[in-house]
Chains A and B, each alone.
Chain A
Amino acid sequence: SQTIHQWPATLVQPVGSPLSLECTVEGTSNPNLYWYRQAAGRGLQLLFYSVGIGQISSEVPQNLSASRPQDRQFILSSKKLLLSDSGFYLCAWSPKTGIMGNTIYFGEGSWLTVV
C-alpha cells in the first residue's frame, strides 16, 4: 500500500533562518506531489505542485520554493523565513491514473512557527 511521510512534525525557527521540509511517498511511482499551507483558521492554500522530477509549478508568489530531486521526494524550502511563513504545512500525493486517479492523499503535516 502507499504511504506518505513528511518531517519534521514540528519546527520553531527564527526569522531569517532557512527552512527545509521533506516529504516522501512509498509504494507508488510517478505520483503528482503537492505542498499546501493552512494558516490559523481553516483554508488550505496550494503552494506548489509537481507532475514529475524537476517539474514544479508555483501557485502563489512567496518566500518559499519547492524541489523534486527524485520521483517520490518533494522538498519545501526557504532561504530566509518571515513571520508570515508560520503555519501548518501539508504534503500530499495523487496517482495520475487508475481507479483513484486525481484523488489526493495527505501526509501528517508539519507545524512551523517562525519567531
Chain B
Amino acid sequence: AQTVTQSQPEMSVQEAETVTLSCTYDTSESDYYLFWYKQPPSRQMILVIRQEAYKQQNATENRFSVNFQKAAKSFSLKISDSQLGDAAMYFCAYSAIYNQGGKLIFGQGTELSVKP
C-alpha cells in the first residue's frame, strides 16, 4: 500500500525568506502524481502544485516549486519570498494513475507559520 510521510509537524519562516517542507512517499508504481495542498484557517483545501512522476522537470507555480527525487521517493516544497498569507497547514499527497479511482493518499501535514 502507498504511504505518504511528512516528518515536520511544524515549521516557521520569516517573512520574505525561503522555507522547504519535506515529504517522502512509498509506492511500487512507476507512474503516479504528487501534490501539495494548502489548508488555511478557513479549512478549504487549495491545490498548490502538481507533479507528474514521469516528468523529470520539477514543477513550479510562481513562488512555489518542488524538488522531486523519484529514486529517493522524496517530494519537497520550496516557498520563496514567504508572505503572511502563506501561513497554513500544508499537505503532501499521492495519487496512482491507474485504477483506484484517482484517490489521494495524504501525509499528516506540516503547519507553517510566517513571522512578520
Which of A's residues lie within 8 Å of B, judged by CB? Answer: 32, 34, 38, 42-44, 46, 49-51, 57, 59, 88, 90, 92, 94, 96, 100-109
Contact = CB atoms under 8 A, between A and B. Distances in A.
Nearest to A55: B101
Given A102-B95, A109-B44, A51 B50 contact: no
A43 B108 contact: yes
A7 B86 CA distance: 27
A105 B106 contact: no
Contacts of A106: 37, 44-46
Contact of B102 (A38, A43, A104): A104
Given A43-B106, A44-B106, A32 B101 contact: yes
Interface string B86-112: 000101010101000111111111010
B interface SS class: strand
Nearest to B109: A42
B102 A32 contact: yes
Given A42-B89, A42-B109, A102 B43 contact: no
Contacts of B108: 42-43
A103 B50 contact: yes
Interface string B27-47: 000000101010000111111
A49 B102 CA distance: 9
Interface of B: 33, 35, 37, 42-47, 50, 89, 91, 93, 95, 97, 101-109, 111
A57 B95 CA distance: 16
A106 B37 CA distance: 10
Nearest to A103: B50
B47 A34 contact: no
A54 B41 CA distance: 34
A70 B61 CA distance: 35
Contacts of B109: 42-43
Contacts of B35: 103-104
B101 A104 contact: no
Given A88-B43, A103-B35, A50 B89 contact: no
A50 B101 contact: yes
Given A42-B109, A109-B44, A102 B91 contact: no
